[in-house]
A and B are shown apart, each in its own frame.
Chain A
Amino acid sequence: MTFSVHVDVQLRPGIADPQGSTIERSLPTLGFDGISGVRVGKSIRFLIDAPDEASARQEVEDLCRRFLTNPVIEDAQIELTELADSPV
């Protein structure tokens, strides 16, 4: 089975986000009011072959922990979607 994977990497709650706060501070100057809580992260997409969804998820979680995120400051949300034309 082939899965399409979307990993959303965000700074953990409580970790200062210099990019997010710079964007947020600039918004009123541009005429956007009432926006708060701006956080900037990374979006990573790829395909993975695995026997089933559980093993695909396990593999991606391991990849996130060891490489795609720095667990000291970042968390990852993982979305898996089975490809429709995936050979059974």
Chain B
Amino acid sequence: MSTRVGVVLFPGSNCEMDVIEAVKTLGGDAEILWHGDATVNGVDAVVVPGGFAHGDYLRPGAIARFSPVMNAVADFAESGGAVVGICNGFQVLTEAGLLPGALQKNRGLKFLCAPAQLRVESTDSVLTSQATKGQLLRVPINHFEGNYTCSPETLAELQAEDRIVLRYVDNPNGSVDDIAGVCNAGRNVVGLMPHPERAISALLGSADGVPLLQSVLLAGVAA
């Protein structure tokens, strides 16, 4: 049976169909989880996709974290379920307290939309288990607020516990320690700014997002 991935849809999300398409292309099954419903509907894995949830008013993710579905996502994560936040979804997960740190405006105040070179730093997460350590991946970024920041204590903890799963080879946005993606202590919640769902075929310019999404599908099977 194929892994059922729930893709959270907030008003203002705009990458949900890309994620669904990517998941189905890789042999999984995907469905929308409406933000106003307080359930994850028994899915095997959850993706919080990119976009501008609730218009990004106040701060990206600040209002989205109060959507009814987020309590269900938190419960799902608490019970060990695989949760991945991509771009705006990463911002939502930090605001919800499921991941540490915060995402600020890019250094240089430019909206960035370009392919980025990533290095896999840890394969011990639901997003990177099917990649290899040190592997270089070319995955697009598309954000204005992707400048990862956290307290020095949090950074030390992330480094010591091998929780920085992806780094930029050439830091585009000013993120502390070149961080492109981090995971929680349980390694089942991961957030990243790049868009693996937009890199699943050579026709799209890169298929380097495939091992990342396959990791999520595999984590869903294990659950």
Chain A positions within 8 Å of B102 at CB level: 70, 72-73
> Is B149 a contact of A73 with CB atoms below 8 Å?
yes
Interface segment out of the listed B25-33, B105-113, B194-202: B105-113
> Is B109 a contact of A19 with CB atoms below 8 Å?
yes
- The answer to whether residues A70 and B59 also contact, given A16-B149, A16-B174, A18-B147 and a CB cut-off of 8 A, is yes
Chain A positions within 8 Å of B130 at CB level: none
How far apart are A73's CB and chain B's nearest CB, in angstroms? 5
Interchain CB contact (< 8 A) of A68 among B58, B104, B105, B151: B58
How far does the alpha carbon of A11 sit from the alpha carbon of B106 in the complex, in Å?
15
Chain B positions within 8 Å of A16 at CB level: 104, 107, 147, 149, 174
Interface size class of B (residues with CB under 8 A): 20 to 34
By DSSP majority rule, is chain B's interface helix, strand, loop, or mixed? loop
> Is A73 a contact of B62 with CB atoms below 8 Å?
no
B186 at the interface (CB under 8 A from A): no
> Is B109 a contact of A18 with CB atoms below 8 Å?
yes
B38 at the interface (CB under 8 A from A): no
> Is B58 a contact of A73 with CB atoms below 8 Å?
no
**Apart from A70-B62, A70-B95, A72-B151, what 20 extra A-B contacts exist at CB < 8 Å?**
A15-B104, A15-B149, A16-B104, A16-B147, A18-B104, A18-B105, A18-B107, A18-B108, A18-B109, A18-B147, A18-B174, A19-B105, A22-B109, A67-B58, A67-B62, A67-B66, A68-B58, A72-B100, A72-B149, A73-B102
B→A interface (CB under 8 Å) = 58-59, 62, 66, 94-95, 100-102, 104-109, 147, 149-151, 174
